[in-house]
Structure 1
Amino acid sequence: MQVGFLLLDNFSLTCFSQALEVLSTANSIAAGSVRVHTFSVNDAEVTSDLAIPIRPSMPLTEVRLRGLDLMVVCGGLRTPRSLPKGVSALLHKLGALPITLGGLCNGAWHLGEAGLLDGYGCAIHPEQRTALAERVPRARVSLEPVVVDRDRYTAATPLGALQMMLKWLGQAQGAALSGAVVDTLDYDACRFRRRASLGNKPLCRATREVLKLMESNVEEPLELRQLAQCVGLSTRQIQRLFKEQLGTTPQKYYFEVRITEARRLLQHSGHRVVDVALACGFVSPSHFSRNYRALFGHPPSQERRQDGWNNSAV
């Protein structure tokens, strides 16, 4: 299978690397399962949101794109909302080909601009959901971190990017390979352990929706008032529900969601500690390290890396 990533200026490196991790793991399990190609708008080096430059592997031409099975547009919070007309037209042409199209972070914006989301459900970063719904009224913009609607795959967050690529891999290469990738990455272990710790406590609809919002918005944490607005309750009502049903506060639970996701990234990727901190919503690396040590008993720089990664990137 041939997969292409169109990297836009200031694209989300964490979203891209999470998607790429699935494909590279698949190739380590079954050599040659997926070939990955990277493109940029002007065929030149493109810089990510973490100021890390990536050089595209091949020119962006219609001939090159016709050989792809999946084309993913990788955007970011600071990615411009406009593309050169030639690139937008090229994306539009892909809609007529038997190619699955995807978007990471705000990548769905550019798919929508090219008329490729009319009648489709999609996911986009929370800050641009309203704008996309207004700009492309025929698209069904979701609150979910990942949406798969026929041949459109979109993800709003790094974890959503991982899930999106697993879904595509299962569809394209079979459940056996995608299952093996899950077993290797153990990407959901933290979430499963967190849910298991809840035991059999009944959770009302509003609480479940807030938990889902927290897990979907790790890189850019939502404020309590934003969570409350999303589920139609007041902040005091949310606090009361968490105390009654979970025995904790929304802030403490949200912190656990972010810090356990950070631990997963440290264990299963080669990202630097500072990059993991940013990807999980910690603006201050020192604050992140201090809280990490308090919770897990050691600093993030000493976290045990798995799957062949080491701490040389810390």
Structure 2
Amino acid sequence: MTITTRTFSHTFKERNLGFMAQPITRPKPSRVGFLLLENFSLPSFTQALDVLVTANLIAPGSIRVHTFSHNHNEVMSDLAIPIRPDTPLTDVRLCDLDIMVVCGGLRAARTVPGWLTALLKRLARFPVVLGGLWNGAWYLGSAGLLDGYRCAIHPEQRIALAERVPHALVTHDALVLDRDRLTAASPAGAFEMMLQWLNIGCSHALADAVLDTLDHDQSKFRSVQKPLQPKVSRPLREIIKLMEANLEEPLSPGQLSQAIGLSVRQVQRLFKDQLDTTPQKYYFQLRITEARRLIQNSNASIFDVSIACGFVSCTHFSRSYSAFFGHPPSKEVRYEI
């Protein structure tokens, strides 16, 4: 039996990208370096690293991560958990990096050693983006590399940095991207910073796929018209919540529209204008996506999954699944429960 290939709409494509037959590939990996300083913020570092590791799970080989310290010695984090860098500074051509991120922390020394200033100034001569986590901006600014730039730093050091580097604009933001300088003042800012880096240094689709994987609750309400309409409207949010709550027995277009006090035509227009799809396609792709989650993360049978996601025919479910993912549900990888 020939199965016609089907594609996900924008809203669900990134959410399923890592599970489709032909995921994103990148001919040249983006090379990211993390320079760990004593007492660096481990939560900020792991938030940033989580984004990159997830990107490699979705698109293998997209990112090559290097961790460094001064003399390749083990570095103690702010949580008293030591981290051993994987790459000596002398073992990689620094000019080949796409970005180097200085990982500071609340108790990281404000005294800037000469080797660090020299290293950062050397990097600045190459087309390498420079970043800083927590108080990483302190070291960039002290090296004279934030003059004329906006930056973010942890609140404890905002005033001190503004005084030390008067030609930098120290903001109250958790994250600042200003040309070839990326700075984040918190773990949440570090997470967003690396997402933005993926968007700039790799691909917009990969960044969206990572967000959909790691922050599903935030990503599911994104609009396709991101620059103009970053979030969907309240009525559409309510419809999506209704759909998610009614997978086993899907609601009809009339029931959905009646529940929020709009006409079927108005609901169709909301989906078209904000998500560039139809309510029927959105609902169907939502059910297929949730079916994948159930298969991978439970011991439920394929038959039970099909029923739980509103498919009255196991044959229809299998054919639809194969059309989207390139293999039948019986061939899906199941994680150990």
Which range, TM-score by smaller chain? 0.5 to 0.7
Letter in 2 for 1:43: H
Q: How much has 1:192 moved relative to structure 2? A: 7.3
CA gap 1:7/1:76 in 2 versus in 1, 3 angstroms: same
3-state SS of paired residue (2:89)? coil
Q: Distance in 2 between matches of 1:6 and 1:80?
A: 14
Cα-to-partner distance string for 1:11-48 (whole Å, 9 max, x where unaligned): 00000000000000000000000000000122200010
Q: Which has the higher contact order (CA 8 A, sep 6+)?
A: 2
Displacement after TM superposition at 1:64 (Å): 3.1
Q: Distance in 1 between matches of 2:36 and 2:129?
A: 17
SS of aligned partner of 1:61:
helix
Decide whether the 8 Å contact of 2:212 with 2:219 is kept in 1. no
1:41 aligned residue (46, 65, 70): 70
Letter in 1 for 2:127: P
Query: What is the CA-CA distance between 1:157 and the residue it aligns to?
Result: 0.5
SS for the counterpart of 2:67 is: strand
| Pairing partner for 1:15 from 44, 68, 89 | 44
Match of 1:92 in 2: 121
1:65/1:191 CA distance change after superposition, 3 Å:
same
Q: Measure how far apart 1:83 and its partner are.
A: 3.0
Match status 1:58 vs 2:87: yes
Q: How far 1:310 sits from its partner (Å)? A: 10
TM-aligned CA distance change 1:129 to 1:36, over 3 Å:
same
Q: Is the 8 A contact 2:112 2:142 kept in 1?
A: no
Percent identity of paired positions between Structure 1 and Structure 2: 62
Cα separation, partners in 2 of 1:192 and 1:109, compared to 1, 3 Å: farther
Gap change, CA 1:91 and 1:186, over 3 Å in 2:
same
Distance 1:128 1:188, change over 3 A: farther
Amino acid at match of 1:132: L
1:185 aligned residue: 214
Deviation at 1:58, TM superposition (A): 1.3
Structure 1 segments of 4 or more deviating over 2 A? 61-64, 187-193, 308-311
The CA distance in 2 between the partners of 1:26 and 1:181, in whole Å, is 6
Write the letter of the residue equivalent to 2:167.
Answer: R
Cα distance in 2 for partners of 1:182, 1:107 equals 24
Q: Does 1:145 align with 2:174?
A: yes
Shift in Å, 1:86? 1.8
Q: Who is 1:268 aligned against?
A: none
Deviation at 1:93, TM superposition (A): 1.2
Root-mean-square deviation (Å): 2.6
> 1:84 Cα shift?
2.2
Q: Residue 301 of structure 1 aligns with which residue? A: none
Aligned length: 201
Structure 2 letter corresponding to 1:127: E
* Residue in structure 2 matched with residue 249 of structure 1 by the alignment: none
Structure 1's 171 and 116: CA in aligned 2 closer, same or farther, altered over 3 A? Answer: same
TM-score, with structure 1 as normaliser:
0.60
Deviations, residues 206-243 of structure 1 (Å, cap 9, x unaligned): xxxxxxxxxxxxxxxxxxxxxxxxxxxxxxxxxxxxxx
Residue matched to 2:255: none
Asked whether the 8 Å contact 1:26–1:33 carries over to 2, the reply is: yes
- Name the residue aligned to 2:9: none
Instruction: For residue 63 of structure 1, report the CA deviation from its aligned partner.
Output: 5.3
Mapped to 1, the partners of 2:217 and 2:93 lie a distance apart of 35
Q: Gaps (5+ residues) in structure 2?
A: 1-29, 223-230, 236-333
1:189-208 aligned at under 5 Å gives the runs 189=218
> What are the superposed Cα offsets for residues 171-211 of structure 1, whole Å, 9 maximum, x if unpaired?
11111000000110116639979xx9xx79xxxxxxxxxxx
Q: TM-score with structure 2 length normalisation?
A: 0.56
1:27 aligns with 2:56: yes
Q: What corresponds to 1:299 in structure 2?
A: none
Residue of structure 1 equivalent to 2:150: 121
Aligned partners of 2:51 and 2:194 also within 8 Å: yes
In structure 2, relative to structure 1, the CA distance for the partners of 1:63 and 1:182 (3 Å cut) is closer
Instruction: Give the whole-Å Cα distance in 1 for the aligned partners of 2:218 and 2:66.
Output: 30
Paired residues of 2:212 and 2:220 also in contact (CA < 8 A)? no
How much has 1:65 moved relative to structure 2? 1.5
Amino acid of the residue matched to residue 110 of structure 1?
Y
